[in-house]
Structure 1
Amino acid sequence: MKPKIQTFDLLKLASGDQLSLQVYQFIGKKSDKKVYIQSNLHGSEIVGNAVIAQLIDFFSGLKPEQLDGEVWLVPICNPIGTNQRNHFFATGRYNSYDGKDWNRIFWDYEKNCQDLEGFVKAHFKLDSLSIQESFLKQQKKAFTKQLDKIQGSSSAPLYEQYRYQLQSLSIDANYVIDLHSSSNQGIDYLFCFPGKQEESAKYFNIDYGISMNTYDGDAFDESFMKPWLALEKKFKELGRDINVDRESWTLELGSGMQMNPQSVAVGVSGIKNYLVKKNVLKLPNYSPQITEIKLVSRQQIKSYYAPTGGMVQNRMSLKHTVKAGDKLYQIISFNKQGKLPEIIDIYAENDGFIFDVSTSYSVNQGEYILALLSLE
């Protein structure tokens, strides 16, 4: 099966060069469901590009009847951030022009929906599929108003033009997967919305996930899912349960600026397994595998910051299990007061394991060192 490849202009530079997005579309015999997968929204988080490259190769080897629906793959979805450099470090988490986090800029329909209760009352007796089709149509109509602003004489700032391009590709999807990694050095995990998605999380072959009990809708996965969750909630408040066939995920695969083969393999196998479970992908003699994922709250992740400036040494490694009182790391603290350097020991405040560690071993006071995940 060959993909349909489309290129979308994204940004014209002062030099006259054009940045663009390239989308690989695999379309099966049926196309009633759409899967949208993107990578590299943050510039240094490149591992998802390897995942998508392997998925392109995998889907190219399928027959059309093995795919019930469409799969859209968008590698390097933020070429602006991907190309951003400080010396030999890839950065690109923040827009260098206005300082905005590239994953905190997205348009959330729930914040723009004028009368959700009125919509629910008007559609209360319709079947679930008709409700979803009508809600998506209304959502698209509101979303398109951004284009009027972009095309106007005063236009719109870069982040609004950029988000319009990405969200126009994904707004009508059933399942959205945004591939990230730690900006530092981290484990493989995912972000999961509470409720029915917790069952689906078991099919990504990932051991840990963060349950999103609070969110503002500005991140890519949130902006997609939040309106649909609000729709379900409003129907429930008015006395009816509906099943909305939409899910949104952020997969955090390993470490920034790295192509860890193990994290790539986790991403590829997990996405295949998930799509089989969702009846999008048809693989003979294959049954979806279940991983008993451990979902934790953000409050269970404790970040440690440098109490003083210096050089980090003897830091516990990623995934290392610790007990309260165990030594996590040391700081070699220098001074300009005619005194000898001091070794400062830092100890764990609770039990857990090392969830994420900083890339740099040179820190100023107050800078991030590591994160400890408590499993209590």
Structure 2
Amino acid sequence: MKPIIENLDLLKLASGDQLSLQVYKFIGKKSQKKVYIQSNLHGSEIVGNAVIAQLIDFFSGLKPDQLDGEIWLVPICNPMGTNQRNHFFATGRYNSYDGKDWNRIFWDYQKVCQDLEGFVKAHFNLDPLTIQESFLKQQKTAFTKQLDKINRPSSAPLFEQYRYQLQSLSIDANYVIDIHSSSNQGIDYLFCFPGKQEDSAKYFNIDYGILMNTYDGDAFDEAFMKPWLALENKFKELGRDIKFDRESWTLELGSGMQMKPESVAVGVAGIKNYLFKKNVLKLPNYLPEITDIKLVSRQQIKSYYAPTGGMIQNRMNLKQPVKVGDKLYEILSFNKQEKLPEIIDIYAETDGFIFDVSTSYSVNQGEYVLALLSPE
């Protein structure tokens, strides 16, 4: 099965060069289901591009009757961030023009929805699919106003134009997967919305997930999912327990500026498993590996910052187990007070394991060094 490949203009530069997005669409049997997968929203987090490349190769080998629905894939979904450099280092987490985090700019329908309770009361006794279609139509109507603003003579800032492109591709999806990595060096994990997605989280075959107990709707996965969660909660508040066929995920695979083969393999296998369990892939001889996932809260992740400036040495390794009082790392600290250099030892405040570490071994006072995931 060959994909439909579409090129979408994104941004024209002062030099006259045109930046664009490329979308790969695999269309199977007719179905209500749509999957949207993107990568590289943050410029240094490139691992998802390798995941998508392997998925394109895999989907290309399928027959149309092995895909129930359609899958849209967008690698390098942020060419502005991907091309951003400081010397040898890819940065691209923040828009260099206005300083905004590229993944904190998205349009959240819940924030502009005028009368959610009125919608629920008007649709209370209808079937879930009819409610879903009606709510999506209402979202799209509100979303179109973003384009009206962009097309005015006064136009709109870049972040609004950019988010419109990505969200216009994904707003009608059933399942959204946004592939990231640590900006530093981290383990593989995912973000999970509590109360809805815990059962599906294990399909990705990833050891750890972070439960999103609080969120503001500005991140890509949040902006997609938040209106649907609000709709479900409002139905429940008024006496009907209903779940809509909508899920949104952020996969965090490995380290920034790297495409570690083991993290790529985790991403590819996990997405295949997930789509199989969601009945998007119809593979009679496919046996997914499903393992338990440990879901933790953000509060269980403790970040450590340098108490003074210097050079990090003898730091514990990623995934290494830690006990209270273990030495996490040393700071080789120099001074301008006619004294010899000194070694400052930093010790663990809790049990756990090394969840994430900084890429740089040189730190100013107050800069990030590592994170520890602790048990409850």
TM-score bucket of the superposed structures, by smaller chain: over 0.9
Distance 1:37 1:75 in 2: 8
**Aligned match of 1:373:** 373
What is the CA distance between 1:32 and its match in structure 2? 1.5
The residue number in structure 2 matching 1:262 is 262
The one-character-per-residue Cα deviations of 1:26-81 (angstroms, maximum 9, x if unpaired) are: 00012320000000000000000000000000000000000000000000000000
Deviation by residue 1:200-241 (Cα, 9 ceiling, x = unmatched): 000001000000000000000000000000000000001011
Is residue 9 of structure 2 the alignment partner of residue 5 of structure 1? no
Question: By how many angstroms is 1:126 displaced?
Answer: 0.6
Report the counterpart of residue 61 of structure 1 in structure 2. Answer: 61
**1:196, 1:259 → 2: CA distance?**
31
1:126 alignment partner in structure 2: 126
2:204 & 2:243 partners in 1: Cα distance?
A: 21
Distance, in Å, in 1 between the alignment partners of 2:68 and 2:331 is 55
Deviations 1:71-112 (A, max 9, x none): 000000000000000001000000000000000000000001
Within the alignment, does 1:358 sit opposite 2:322 as a pair? no
- Residue 41 of structure 2 corresponds to 41
- The count of aligned residue pairs is 376
1:1-376 matches, cutoff 5 A: 1-376=1-376
Q: Secondary structure at the match of 2:36?
A: strand
Displacement after TM superposition at 1:329 (Å): 0.1
Q: How far is the alpha carbon of 1:261 from its aligned partner?
A: 0.1
Deviations 1:166-196 (A, max 9, x none): 0000000000000000000000000000013
Deviations 1:279-320 (A, max 9, x none): 000112224332110000000000000000000000000000
**8 A contact 1:207–1:294 mirrored in 2:** yes
SS in 2 for 1:265: helix
Q: Distance in 2 between matches of 1:197 and 1:343?
A: 46
Q: Is the 8 A contact 1:105 1:163 kept in 2?
A: yes
Once the 2 structures are TM-superposed, how far is the Cα of residue 139 of structure 1 from its aligned partner? 0.2
Q: Secondary structure at the match of 1:155?
A: coil
Amino acid at match of 1:362: S
Q: Is the 8 A contact 1:228 1:246 kept in 2?
A: yes
Distance 2:287 2:241 in 1: 29
What letter corresponds to residue 166 of structure 2 in structure 1?
L
The residue type paired with residue 342 of structure 1 is E
Contact 1:30 1:67 in 2 (8 A): no
RMSD: 0.6
Shift of 1:125: 1.0
Stretches of structure 1 that go unaligned for 5 or more consecutive residues are none
Residues in 2 aligned to 1:290 and 1:187: alpha-carbon distance in whole angstroms? 19
For residues 303 and 115 of structure 2, the distance between their equivalents in structure 1, rounded to whole angstroms, comes to 40
The structural deviation recorded for 1:133 is 0.1
SS of the residue aligned with 2:103? coil
* Length-normalised TM-score, structure 2: 0.99
AA partner of residue 327 (structure 1): K
Paired AA for residue 94 in structure 1: Y
Q: Distance in 2 between matches of 1:31 and 1:84?
A: 39
Measured in 1, the distance between the counterparts of 2:161 and 2:346 equals 45
Distance in 1, Cα, partners of 2:132 & 2:284: 31
